[in-house]
């Protein structure tokens, strides 16, 4: 199995506060990974480091099989193979088409191909009817679907989802969850999902990480983590006591 991400003793400080300290982490291609943990435990920071948006302070980082030395050309090349959707996705002024086409245009994709890919990804997310609609006028759930379509249009190897359904209602969440599953299964996209919804993590993720004070407190197959957590803090967290 190829490891898409490998971290050794990766740390990140803000001021004199250490917010991330990951001794060892490996993520393989093809699965959905879930990241759980209390507020402020370092989940987003971890995601931003491995997606090459935030520079770590110490340690060794490998992304898509390459040792990261933070040269701008390397970053650009690797970042283009990954896409991120956050909890309230930013929509550019303009149509849904313009928003979904954005990443393709920055990658200098030929115009006819842009059209096909935008349509395909909107169709996949059930949003094709909105193609000419002003993106900023969409509801929160619709925006999230467009944001996922936008991420998908560039055919990323890895899709990072940082609480993609935390601002949307239960039925839209369920719909989005089914798209996430479909993308992983049909497009073989590796998905790394941060969520506070334990049920969602359980339903979607094959492997799970539990973050605690910047550390990975526990990791393993989702089933094991939920049925037989090793650390008492994991047990409490999963019972909703944190």
Ligand X SMILES: Nc1ncnc2c1ncn2[C@@H]1O[C@H](COP(=O)(O)OP(=O)(O)OP(=O)(O)O)[C@@H](O)[C@H]1O
**Rule CB under 6 A: which residues touch ligand X?**
14, 19, 37, 39-45
195 near Mg ion (CB under 5 A): no
Q: CB 53 → ligand X: shortest distance, Å?
A: 11
Contact partner, 197, from ligand X, Mg ion, none, Cβ < 5-8 Å per class: none
Q: CB 40 → ligand X: shortest distance, Å?
A: 4
d(CA 86, CA 230): 30
Contact partner, 39, from ligand X, Mg ion, none, Cβ < 5-8 Å per class: ligand X
Look at strands 58-63 and 66-67 and give their pairing: antiparallel
User: Tell me, what DSSP letter sits at residue 167?
Assistant: T
Nearer to ligand X, 43 or 117 (CB): 43
* C-alpha 38 chain-centroid distance: 17
d(CA 19, CA 45): 8
Exposed, middle or buried, 46 (CB in 10 Å: 0-12/13-18/19+)?
buried
Number of residues that bind Mg ion (CB under 5 A): 2
Which 164-183 residues touch Mg ion, going by CB under 5 A?
none
Stretch that binds Mg ion, among 42-50, 129-137, 168-176, 219-227 (CB under 5 A): 42-50
Angle between helices 111-124 and 96-106 (to 10 degrees): 130
Residues 72, 76, 79, 85, Cα dihedral to 10°: 100
Nearer to ligand X, 49 or 149 (CB): 49
Applying CB under 5 A, among 4, 5, 33, 44 the residue interacting with Mg ion is 44
Nearer to ligand X, 142 or 163 (CB): 163
Nearer to ligand X, 86 or 119 (CB): 86
d(CA 110, CA 100): 15
Q: CB 15 → ligand X: shortest distance, Å?
A: 7
Task: Report how far apart, in Å, the C-alpha atoms of 181 and of each of 49, 69, 205, 224 are.
Answer: 24, 33, 9, 20
Q: CB 241 → Mg ion: shortest distance, Å?
A: 20
Helix then strand then coil, % of the chain, to nearest 5? 40, 25, 30
Nearer to Mg ion, 43 or 117 (CB): 43
Q: CB 40 → Mg ion: shortest distance, Å?
A: 8
Nearer to ligand X, 37 or 103 (CB): 37
- Residues in touch with Mg ion (CB under 5 A): 43-44
């Amino acid at each position: 199995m190829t490891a898409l991400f490998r971290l050794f003793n990766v740390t990140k400080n803000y001021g004199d506060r250490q917010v991330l300290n990951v001794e060892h982490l490996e993520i393989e291609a093809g699965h959905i990974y879930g990241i759980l943990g209390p507020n402020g435990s370092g989940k987003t920071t971890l995601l931003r480091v491995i997606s090459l948006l935030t520079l770590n302070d110490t340690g060794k980082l490998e992304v898509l099989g390459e040792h990261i030395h933070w040269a701008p050309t390397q970053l650009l090349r690797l970042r283009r193979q990954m896409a991120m959707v956050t909890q309230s996705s930013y929509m550019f002024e303009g149509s849904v088409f313009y928003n979904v086409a954005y990443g393709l245009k920055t990658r200098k994709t030929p115009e006819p191909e842009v059209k096909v890919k935008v349509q395909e990804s909107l169709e996949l997310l059930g949003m094709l009817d909105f193609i000419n609609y002003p993106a900023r006028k969409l509801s929160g759930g619709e925006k999230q679907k467009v944001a996922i379509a936008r991420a998908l249009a560039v055919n990323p190897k890895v899709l990072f989802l940082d609480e993609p359904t935390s601002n949307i209602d239960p039925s839209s969440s369920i719909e989005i969850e089914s798209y996430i599953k479909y993308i992983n299964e049909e497009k073989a996209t590796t998905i790394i999902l941060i969520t506070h919804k334990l049920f969602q993590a359980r339903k979607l993720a094959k492997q799970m990480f539990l973050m605690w004070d910047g550390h990975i407190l526990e990791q393993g197959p989702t089933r094991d983590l939920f049925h037989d957590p090793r650390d008492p803090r994991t047990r409490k967290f999963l019972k909703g006591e944190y």
